[in-house]
Amino acid sequence: MEVLPRLIQGSFYGLVEDLKMDPAVRALGLFGSWVRGKGNISSDFDILVVDGSGLDYEYGKVEVRGGWLVDLQHIPLGWLREPVSPQLDYRFHEMVVLYDPVEVLGEAREFVERVFMSPRRVEARTDGLLATSEMYLSRASSALSRGDSETTFAYVGAGLTSAAVVLIDIAGVPVTRSQFVWSLRRACVRLDMEDVYRSYLILSRVSKVSRQEAEEIIKGFKTAWDGVRGFILDHGCVMDGLHGKVKRDVEYLINLPTLGGILTRVRGMIAMENNMEAVIYLRGWMLPLLEGFAWAILAVDGEKYDYTSLLRVVGGGDEVVREGALDVLGLSGVTERSAAEMLVGARELVGDLRLDRRRLVEFFIG
């Protein structure tokens, strides 16, 4: 395989052969840094696993095989039927098919390639992104109405990031988790919307992050992660009562190899002085980790989960986890007034993007 150095091709092919032995595996594809020509000795293998077991949701699993970190992303076989789910587009667009005995993955990939940059497909992808952004802002608004400014900030940040991907997509810039800030800047320059880039950095509170601050944020992330993992291990029996996707997502996030991969990447970013990139990257992992933790806390207490009280629930379960999360999410010293101002700014940005999206698609794509 040309995208991999000869030194590791043998180990990789052995991995693929092992995966093919599972009768539920219908197809395999490689995506991510190795396919983009950005892989190195510390990079993991991102493998898409088409799961024919009757699964109806996506989940991840990280393993170490032959000394290599392998990130297995399982998706339902049904998602490959036309029209292929738009949420698969970014991965399919760069994917190399590894195993596909009945060509189900190859046909789906060909479909995505035919329509990937068509105006209708871009609108479908970006509509989903804006809907996700608006969902997060709705949670933020509900949290603010309950006086939870920390949860407000957390979900506003998630909403802004989802909306920012809309511009990256329309500009035709690769959507990559580890180069998000750089991709957004390139997109905004290409679209002549640098003001949106600056607004994103200001609203996200990352525009002046120093290396020392980024290092402290790593410590906060590790502290929070340790607390969540400890709680889950102490209450493992409760996890069996959660929805399958929630359970698997939590297991994925508290896996030691997952943490190792996250820290390796983020320390590499800081070594290159990409401090803003490092912080945004860690926040992308922090929020789902906290949500999984909240599900587990309330399952132990026999209560129903409410996203709009996220940080309060987390603090009730473990104050140390909450403090670490505040450092990562940039929430220290947040007030109700500052949360309200951030929410207003985010709503304006997302609202303007919703109104302007079709014009941008028509001008730059159609």
Say which CATH superfamily domain 6-115 falls into: Beta Polymerase, domain 2 (3.30.460.10)
Q: What is the pLDDT of residue 239?
A: 80
> What is the residue-averaged pLDDT of the chain?
92
H/E element holding 281? Answer: helix 275-301
Checking if the pLDDT of 4 tops 70, the result is no
Inter-residue long-range contacts of 135-139, CB under 8 Å, 24+ positions, other chains counted: 135/159, 136/162, 137/343, 137/346, 137/347, 137/350, 139/307, 139/308
Entry field: residues in the chain: 366
Mean pLDDT of 305-312: 91
Q: Which amino acid is at 322?
A: R
- Topology, domain 119-205+334-364: Four Helix Bundle (Hemerythrin (Met), subunit A) (1.20.120)
Least confident of 81-90, 122-131, 167-176: 81-90
Q: What phi and psi, each to the nearest 5 degrees, are found at residue 171?
A: -75, -10
What's the pLDDT tens digit per position in 213-229? 999 999 999 999 999 99
Least confident of 32-41, 46-55, 74-83, 185-194: 32-41
Mean pLDDT of 2-13: 66
Q: What is the pLDDT of residue 306?
A: 86
Checking if the pLDDT of 85 tops 70, the result is yes
Q: What is the pLDDT of residue 240?
A: 80
Q: What are 304's two structure tokens?
A: 């129903």
- Report the alpha-carbon distance of residue 2 to residue 37 in Å, rounded: 10
What's the pLDDT tens digit per position in 230-260? 999 998 787 887 888 989 999 999 999 999 9
DSSP letter, residue 137: H
Q: Could you tell me what percent of the chain has a pLDDT over 70?
A: 96
**Residue 7 binned pLDDT confidence (cut-offs 50, 70, 90):** low
Q: What is the pLDDT of residue 36?
A: 85
Q: What is the pLDDT of residue 48?
A: 97
- Report the alpha-carbon distance of residue 13 to residue 25 in Å, rounded: 16
Q: Which residue has the tokens 């505040």?
A: 326
Of 93, 68, 73, nearest to 13 (Cα)? Answer: 68
Q: What is the pLDDT of residue 1?
A: 53
Q: Which amino acid is at 266?
A: V
CA-based angle 96:98:118, to the nearest 5? Answer: 35
What is the b/e burial string over 309-342, where b = at least 16 CB atoms within 10 angstroms of the residue's CB? Answer: bbbbbbbebbeebbbbbbbbbbbeebeeeebeeb
Common-topology check for domains 6-115 and 119-205+334-364: no
Enter the pTM of the model: 0.93
Specify the higher pLDDT residue, 151 or 177: 151
Please give the torsion angle defined by the CA atoms of residues 281, 282, 288 and 294, in that order, rounded to the nearest 10 degrees. -160
Bridge partners of 25, per DSSP, are 51
Q: Could you tell me what percent of the chain has a pLDDT over 90?
A: 77
**Residue 5 binned pLDDT confidence (cut-offs 50, 70, 90):** low
Q: What is the pLDDT of residue 357?
A: 93
What's the pLDDT tens digit per position in 104-141? 999 999 999 999 999 999 999 999 999 999 999 999 99
Hey, where are the domains in the chain? 6-115, 119-205+334-364, 211-329
Least confident of 30-34, 169-173, 253-257, 276-280: 30-34
Q: What is the pLDDT of residue 242?
A: 81
Q: What is the pLDDT of residue 282?
A: 97
